[in-house]
């Protein structure tokens, strides 16, 4: 098992990529903190097959500092350490183009960028005290490609790409910080785009299909595990060739 006895926080893990990651991490031996914002039922569904005592369910809005501090404190109280942080929480809030109002812009940056900053700075000293750790940020190929209809989202993800590199420099050698950059993944967020747009995404992707969340989870596992022990500050693109166009 790649994560035996590791303690891993996965933000936004009640659905999509976060859910797939939490499940895979548990299968690989980790004690997993499953975080959700509002949907407790979905979060309970994630952990229904988990070994008793090897998970913690925490409601928290990770864009809010008080919630972040509580999440981390509950993790330490339960497991005594933190080895891995996956900053997965994210959301496209529409309309998110250049005509977006300030409230939508601010909310988009809060959930997609500020949350990762808050979580990272809250766990750093705890990781160092335990000998180090690994942080994986979930960004997006649109963070470097751009996408006019979701300008706010892509701008926030671009910021997270830069943050990943900055933290990698600052926290080395104790903590490795990397990112996984998907394109379109078959999550609720993608499904909400509609069948016509999904078909367009599929045609634009050299592998001619949309990724499944489990495929992203495997990339996240790689960067979180010792298999990536000499990798930091990198962005692993998992997009079926989409960004080649």
What 3-state DSSP class applies to 45?
A: helix
CA 30/CA 3 separation, integer angstroms:
5
Q: Which of 36, 153, 230, 242 is catalytic?
A: 153
Torsion, Cα of 125, 126, 129, 134 (10° steps): -90
Best CA proximity match to 221, nearest among 160, 134, 142, 120: 134
230 among known catalytic residues: no
CA 92/CA 68 separation, integer angstroms:
21
In Å, how far are 100, 134, 188, 193 from 148, measured between CA atoms?
11, 33, 21, 15
User: Which residues form the catalytic set?
Assistant: 153
């Amino acid at each position: 098992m790649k994560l035996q006895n590791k303690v891993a926080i996965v933000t936004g893990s009640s659905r999509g990529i976060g859910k797939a990651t939490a499940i895979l991490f548990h299968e690989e031996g980790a004690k997993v903190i499953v975080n959700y914002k509002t949907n407790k039922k979905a979060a309970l569904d994630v952990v229904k097959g988990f070994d008793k005592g090897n998970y913690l369910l925490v409601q928290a809005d990770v864009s809010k500092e008080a919630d972040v501090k509580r999440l981390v404190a509950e993790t330490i109280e339960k497991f005594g350490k933190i080895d891995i942080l996956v900053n997965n929480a994210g959301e496209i809030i529409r309309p998110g183009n250049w005509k977006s109002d300030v409230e939508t812009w601010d909310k988009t940056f809060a959930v997609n960028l500020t949350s990762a900053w808050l979580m990272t700075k809250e766990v750093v000293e705890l990781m160092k005290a335990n000998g180090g750790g690994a942080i994986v940020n979930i960004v997006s190929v649109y963070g470097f490609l751009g996408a006019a209809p979701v300008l706010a989202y892509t701008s926030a993800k671009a910021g997270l790409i830069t943050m990943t590199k900055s933290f990698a420099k600052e926290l080395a050698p104790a903590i490795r910080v990397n990112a996984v950059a998907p394109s379109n993944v078959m999550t609720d967020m993608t499904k909400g785009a509609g069948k016509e747009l999904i078909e367009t995404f599929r045609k634009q992707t050299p592998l001619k299909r949309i990724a499944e969340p489990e495929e992203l989870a495997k990339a996240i596992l790689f960067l979180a595990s010792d298999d990536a022990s000499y990798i930091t500050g990198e962005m692993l693109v998992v997009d079926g060739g989409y960004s080649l166009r």
